[in-house]
Amino acid sequence: MSETFVNINLLPPEFFRIRELRENRPYLYLSLLMAVLLTLTPFLFLKQENVLCRNVLEEVNFSLQEYEKYKPHIKKTISEIDDLKKKKKALTMVMGKRSIWLARILEIGKTLPSRYIYLTNFSPTTGSLEIRGEISLTTIKAGFEDLRSFALRLNSLDYLEGASVTQCDRDKGKKKLVFTIGLKIKE
């Protein structure tokens, strides 16, 4: 004969469930612990992110306070820079006009008909120019011819017109002819 394995268990099913629950209890506790940890982990990261954001906000507020502290100085410096730029522009214009006038004076000097004429004064005003000078006399006739020739040459320049002798006096002691020529500046 052979042995038969027949298990007859007359215990109620609740008893088996309680026994299974007792065997699985450590796993249940571990699962519960893992669920709590998984629930708390995002809150820890959010708290760390919140601390980081607060630190960044404090740095930004400090930088803003520093900026507000120096803002009047910055505005003052910017306005000074703008003023200097305006002055530079005005100075550049003046220097440009002076270099133009220097070139014109040199060109007027080239129109002198002889070496006996000396220009002593240039007086530019709005729209006109007054030139004063002296002529060393060899003869009166040569002096007047040089003065006439000079006035005609001035009229031939592109930027001057209407040259006329407004004053001409003879200085007998120095043997010189002192003259003044008035001109209009072409626009």
Q: Which residue carries 């006096």 as its tokens? A: 169
Q: How many domains does the chain have?
A: 1
What's the pLDDT score for residue 187? 67
What's the pLDDT score for residue 55? 95
CA 97, CA 74: separation in Å to the nearest integer?
34
- Percentage of residues of the chain with pLDDT beyond 70: 99
In a domain, 107, yes or no: no
User: Which pLDDT tens digit goes with each residue over 76-132?
Assistant: 999 999 999 999 888 878 777 777 777 777 787 787 877 778 888 877 777 788 888
Whether the predicted pLDDT of 53 surpasses 90 = yes
User: Would residue 64 be called left, alpha or beta, if left means φ above 0 and alpha means ψ between -120 and 50 degrees?
Assistant: alpha
* Entry pTM: 0.47
Q: Which residues pair with 129 in a beta bridge?
A: 124, 183
Cα 139 to the center of its chain, rounded Å:
63
CA 38, CA 53: separation in Å to the nearest integer?
23
Check the CA dihedral 149-152-156-162 and report its sign.
positive
Torsion of Cα atoms, 14 then 18 then 24 then 25, to 10°: 140
Judge whether 129 and 160 are in contact, CB under 8 Å.
yes
What's the pLDDT score for residue 76? 93
Whether the predicted pLDDT of 1 surpasses 70 = no
In a domain, 33, yes or no: no
Q: What is the residue-averaged pLDDT of the chain?
A: 84
Residue 132 sits in a domain whose CATH number is 3.30.70
In a domain, 179, yes or no: yes
What's the pLDDT score for residue 158? 79
In a domain, 57, yes or no: no
Tokens of 32: 């519960």
- What's the pLDDT band for 48 if we cut at 50, 70, 90? very high
**Residue 159's CB: how many other CB atoms inside 10 A?**
14
